[in-house]
Structure 1
């Protein structure tokens, strides 16, 4: 008997557009609402604004609270689970919704990569309101279509309502579940964000670079003609970096995500060098370049494969993944200058540093303790960089575990205000 092709020794393929989640733990938001995030509660409101029977909603919420919803499977446009009711056998329940079209995803990706804080928010499991405003990611009343194998013809029945409430808790934990509901998988979305972010960085580098010194073309051709070496016509420079090939998974080959990242980086650097004659990262140390690589990849640390990439970059330089994560946060905060602020304390001259404490007291902030270029409380810290900017840091109270937060500012009050989100 022959073995069907691919049946033996086949490598299972990851399906980025299908995710299953174990039974979600029951909990209640601090303010008494069912969900803990604004987008989770927007999902709940879309359900409640559509429902025809408040009593069925109340029973569905009670079912969700008592753990009647089994594991949930999410695919584009569909959320499915088995929900236990009054009978021994659970009911198959699903919620359908439309997926975003290509135009909607283009608007989302353009908006997300236009501002670094949007990418940072997504990595922190947050959804900026601006992204919702331009794309309509969240369902409006009537967008959620329930279906259930139970005999109840309510719209929705209590089982579909229970599934909807539990789905809101999934959205609380991971906004990429919402993106999957709307049609794009996490790795697919992160890969596209990475490419666009790299292209945007290359365009900014190209625009800021000084022009290359020039030589009159007639002099070059005249010299070549005298030497009997006619030159071929030059090729025009491409408008943008090329996109890497698609690397299929292979157990005997390097990780395809790492290959994709390195190929994208090589294309961006080559394009910048071709246009400007300058390699923007040639002067970086290996540690700075590893931090830059990780910071330029929006998905680093979020999925199993990107966590492995994070780990390998850190260990290659005798650092820990936590060291790299902290350094990436500093790089995203201020580039190479932000990384220097993280790693190199220094003694600033008299002037802006001495004026910072009175300014903070005048703005009704707590008293800060000075040490070298740093001002600290138990949980907040400001660091003065050699570039004259103040960088915000946070730590759990009583612990020396400082992490970069917020945007740098020439004004210490402005940096601290941004850090606290005032």
Structure 2
């Protein structure tokens, strides 16, 4: 793109054809100065922007203006950090639809929700999220030169939506490599390591059985415990619940003595 200006494809109306470029422009137009944005669209349509480059966390371009030398423009964002990208890649890889569509070079609209669930944003939502730099004397935010670059960046997103992720710190190749690996497999709880067995070990009690043998005995169950936890049957003997009538027999069996005859 060096030397030859890039003209916006749309001659009238809104710039940006796909959902991601429209999302980006809608957010920019929600907080930027409308007058300078309008002049920026004019610059973009006249082909005064060239050498547009998207790199992690920064977009740079040159814009022809009133002076002989072009203005240098840079659009910076905080982007997504390395640790957050690992979490995002893991989440995307775990969702079959997102993984399949991204590997097919498609950008699903719902991808923004996945990042939002992780507390991450793909697009600058406020003026504070977008750092605009231009060496022109206009201190507007944005100036018309930066505005022109913003609009042509949206059309670049139309051509290659993975540039959105590149701007946020992750290249297409690196993301797709992570997605091809797929989600990390959960460990198999039944998988056991094979250990070589020697002739000596053959006659040795396995360590697991030895631990079971050495465990302390369980505390004794109190007499009639089963009667206490069981649901009482709707049966009475001499107007007494059946469980009360059976309790002396349980106590006698646990103690070895004969059951008492009760009250009657």
Matched, 1:27 2:12: no
The structure 1 segments of at least 4 consecutive aligned residues displaced by more than 6 Å after TM superposition are none
- Count the aligned residue pairs: 195
Deviation at 1:75, TM superposition (A): 1.9
Aligned to 1:85: 65
For residues 103 and 129 of structure 1, do their structure 2 counterparts lie closer, same or farther at Cα, with a shift above 3 Å needed? farther
The question of 1:94 aligning with 2:74 is answered yes
Find the partner of 2:25 among 41, 44, 53: 44
Provide the residue aligned with 1:191 in structure 2. Answer: 177
CA RMSD, aligned part only? 3.4
Between structure 1 and structure 2, the one with the greater Rg is 2
Instruction: Show the counterpart of 2:253.
Output: none
SS at match of 2:110: helix
Between the two structures, name the one with larger relative contact order (CA 8 Å, sep ≥ 6): 2
For the 8 Å contact 1:77–1:98, the answer to whether it is kept is: yes
Q: Unpaired runs of 5+ in structure 1?
A: 1-19, 234-422
Q: Conserved in 1, the CA contact under 8 Å of 2:49 and 2:61?
A: yes
Counterpart for residue 167 of structure 1: 153
| Alpha-carbon shift at residue 195 of structure 1 (Å) | 2.2
Residue number among 78, 85, 95 corresponding to 1:105 in the alignment: 85
Change (3 A) 1:67 1:180: same
- TM norm structure 1: 0.41
Aligned to 1:147: 133
For residues 88 and 187 of structure 1, the distance between their equivalents in structure 2, rounded to whole angstroms, comes to: 39
Q: 1:25 to 1:152 in 2, by over 3 A?
A: closer
The alpha carbon displacement at 1:102 in A equals: 3.6
CA contact 2:7–2:44 (8 Å) conserved in 1: no
Which residue of the partner structure matches residue 106 of structure 2?
Answer: 126
Comparing 182-191 and 126-135, the one that deviates more: 126-135
Query: Counterpart in 1 of 2:214?
Result: none
Shift of 1:107: 3.6
Counterparts of 2:151 and 2:125, CA distance in 1: 16
Distance 1:177 1:64 in 2: 19
CA distance in 2, matches of 1:59, 1:27: 16
- TM-score for the superposition, normalised by structure 2: 0.63
**1:111–1:25 Cα change, 3 Å:** farther
Equivalent residues of 2:75, 2:133 under 8 A apart: yes
The DSSP-based 3-state class of the residue aligned with 2:179 is helix
Task: Spell out the pairing of 1:204-353 with structure 2 (5 A cutoff).
Answer: 221=197, 224-225=198-199
**Structure 1 residues 151 and 25, CA, compared in 2 at 3 Å: closer, same or farther?**
closer
